[in-house]
Amino acid sequence: MTFKISLFKKALILSDFKRYWWLSALYALALFIDMPFRNLMDTLKLEIFDAQWLQDTVDRALGLSESGLQNILICTVPVLLAVFIFRYLQADKSSVMMHSLPYNRSSQYASHCFSGLVLLLLPAVLNCFILILLKYVTVLGSFYTLPKILMWLGLHVLFSVLFYSVTVFVGMLTGSSIAQIVFTYIFQVLPVGIYTLITYSLGQLLYGFANTYSLAFENTYPIFLLLNGMPQGTVYTVHTVGYFITYLIAAVIFFGLGWLAYKYRKLETAGDIIAFPALYPVFKYGVTFCLMLIGGSYFCSLAGQSFPLLIIGYFFGSVLGYFVAEILIHKSFKVLHFYKGYLYYSAVILILFGAISLDVGGFVNRVPNPEEVDKVYLGYDMGLWVYYEKEKNPEYLEYWYGKRYLENNNPLFFESKDNIARMTELHRYLIKERNKAEGQPRYLIY
């Protein structure tokens, strides 16, 4: 029994294959050179290096633990392929022509997504078979294992599908291919960037506020995880597996959101920086806020944590961000008459930063009662607390900094009632004598 109506249209899928097979072929060739071929060449060095060296090299390559070519390819090829597949949406004539075909929007979206996924994943599957073949017919069989090869394929599929789905979703929200590429990468680094800039600014506005940034936080985001290199061995924890499941769910959600946006997207938005007018305020004030934080951080760092320069940087960064966003939205340099929106934004920011500077929330003077504290960390390195206490994974530190790192950098925790009481007294003293601070800063964490 066959269905008369299918979500996937063969003609659209074959058309994409004919137009973009070359990108998939180049990707397959690049993966072959960086994995099977490179591993074969490495076997020639066994006369110089020992077998353990080759085993470590192979394990790092199969585990994506090298921030090398294949990791960069995973971060770029899915983005480029999604941009090419949906390029027709960003030009008036091609958009009108494609939507005049006898296919509804759901069929078009599903067919293009499917063809893109096939072109994207086929190179990894092909190289996986080559790796399996090499395992049985070459000396690499002593270094390859089937589970590791399949893990390599699984990681490729997971990250490729995730980056592809994000790019497809972003492409539905913009009418420019260049903007689609830029927004895709901004979307992936934005949480880390915003967090870093906000904590930096709060550190200038609130006495005692510490930047808790760490690799553990950074590596929860796939693009940083790949560019930093995937962790190996005992570093794979329940947290890591949880992240992978989250990435898979996120990819499905992005495909779903992309389909909804595609259904209601208007053809005349081709060429616009933002395809949905309802998102203009989000884009405009988002750009303004981000450039404000960047400007403030940059100016402040020029003079060694100068508060006046922080404010000056906020002003110039926000003005630049606001009017650049208006220029992009309206595709015109005549945007000065939109100044009222900036005044409203400035009023909100002044109230917000005024409340932070006055410590309305009572952060600066808040000291916990000793009875409420289980242990206190005092030290120079935030990472020690993050991986020992928060992540419960100190092996992560040895993975990144060497096997003897923990021996030379034992974290200092105070757990006795007397020591905890002394730490709270020290905390009160530091608040009272804040103007006498000198030397290298330390972290005091309850």
* Residue in 89, 121, 112, 107 with CA at minimum distance from that of residue 14: 112
Asked if residue 353 lies in contact with residue 387, where contact means CB atoms within 8 angstroms, the answer is no
Q: How far apart are CA 34 and CA 50, in angstroms?
A: 21
Measured in Å, how far apart are the chain's first and last C-alpha atoms?
66
pLDDT at 170 over 90: yes
* More confident site: 381 or 204: 204
Coil, strand, or helix at residue 307? helix
For residue 94, the one-letter residue type is: S
* Residue in 326, 318, 323, 322 with CA at minimum distance from that of residue 296: 318
* pLDDT of 403: 59
The pLDDT > 90 percentage for the chain reads 36
How confident is the model over 243-262, as pLDDT tens digits? Answer: 888 899 999 999 999 999 99
Residue with tokens 């206190």: 376
How confident is the model over 287-344, as pLDDT tens digits? Answer: 999 999 888 888 887 766 677 888 888 999 999 999 999 999 988 899 899 989 999 9
- When pLDDT is cut at 50, 70 and 90, the band that residue 124 belongs to is very high
Q: How far apart are CA 212 and CA 410, in angstroms?
A: 19
- When pLDDT is cut at 50, 70 and 90, the band that residue 234 belongs to is very low
The pLDDT > 70 percentage for the chain reads 85
- Find the range with the poorest average confidence among 143-152, 173-182, 219-228: 219-228
pLDDT at 386 over 80: no
* More confident site: 334 or 403: 334
pLDDT at 402 over 80: no
How confident is the model over 266-294, as pLDDT tens digits? Answer: 888 888 899 999 999 999 999 999 999 88
* More confident site: 404 or 52: 52
Q: How far apart are CA 354 and CA 200, in angstroms?
A: 17
pLDDT, averaged across the chain: 84
Can you read off the two tokens belonging to residue 128?
């996986």
